[in-house]
Amino acid sequence: MLEEQIRRRLRHKDLLVMTHIVIGYPSFRESWALARGMVDAGVDLLELQIPFSEPMADGPVILAANQHALTAGASVSKCFEFARELSGQVQIPLLFMSYYNILFKYGLPRFAADARQAGVQAAIVPDLPPEEATDYLAAMRAESLDTVPLFAPNTPSERMQMLAERGSGLVYCVARKGVTGQKTSFSGDLTEYLARARRATTLPLAVGFGLKERADVDFVRGKADVAVVGSESLRVFQESGLRGTSDFIRSLTGVAPGA
């Protein structure tokens, strides 16, 4: 399971890095090359977003990528095929990220079964509160897949405990309120929030929303287990292409070219 895979990796490094792609952006061929390049650059986990027309948790960079992928013909079935081929070639955990409308329309048992067959370990569904997630949780657990809960800075400690008990794999700690890609203040408030999250659960903690450079990754070192660099990875890709993205990811992971 995902938690066990993360624990094994943490025996060899004190902080893991997870990046994010939108499947089918800017094309399936290019998103494949981007995913493989990220793996080669040393990422420890990869978040595969199934495009959706109204990605409410995402900022302008990922929002535009979703719209582009959909216009270019991305579909849920194509995304499963992409994940199946990728999982057969890489050795890191893969997580699906999407919105509940996608899962609901596809069918929850079917989604979970196809995700397992595609080699995905977990899913992140940011717009589905646990109070309404009974069927989703049951479908995923029936396929031995993890369901990643989300914490926010304003989540009460008691609710953190409830979310963690219903989820599995890891906890995604949103570094601030708002959407992805905006500026995050790396300060004592974030330190205290992550300490509170650590007290609420024994699951590994991933921190995302606003991590843009090595200094941000270093800030969460010792406070969390996984640094999530999503929008910035795609922004660098848009500006500098595959080579620039690989160099950027290596600056975060410390993996040397050719390693």
**Residue 26 neighbours by CB distance under 10 Å:** 16
29 exposure class (CB count in 10 Å sphere: 0-12, 13-18, 19+): exposed
What is the C-alpha separation between 35 and 17, in angstroms, rounded? 14
Let me know if 131 is a catalytic residue: no
Cα-flanking dihedrals φ and ψ of residue 175, to 5°? -70, -20
What is the C-alpha separation between 173 and 167, in angstroms, rounded? 13
Q: What is the CA radius of gyration of the chain?
A: 17
User: Which one from 58, 114, 225, 232 is the annotated catalytic residue?
Assistant: 58
154 exposure class (CB count in 10 Å sphere: 0-12, 13-18, 19+): exposed
Let me know if 58 is a catalytic residue: yes
What's 255's DSSP letter?
P
CA 189 to centroid of chain Cα atoms: 23
User: Which one from 3, 14, 44, 47 is the annotated catalytic residue?
Assistant: 47
- What are the residue numbers of the active site? 47, 58
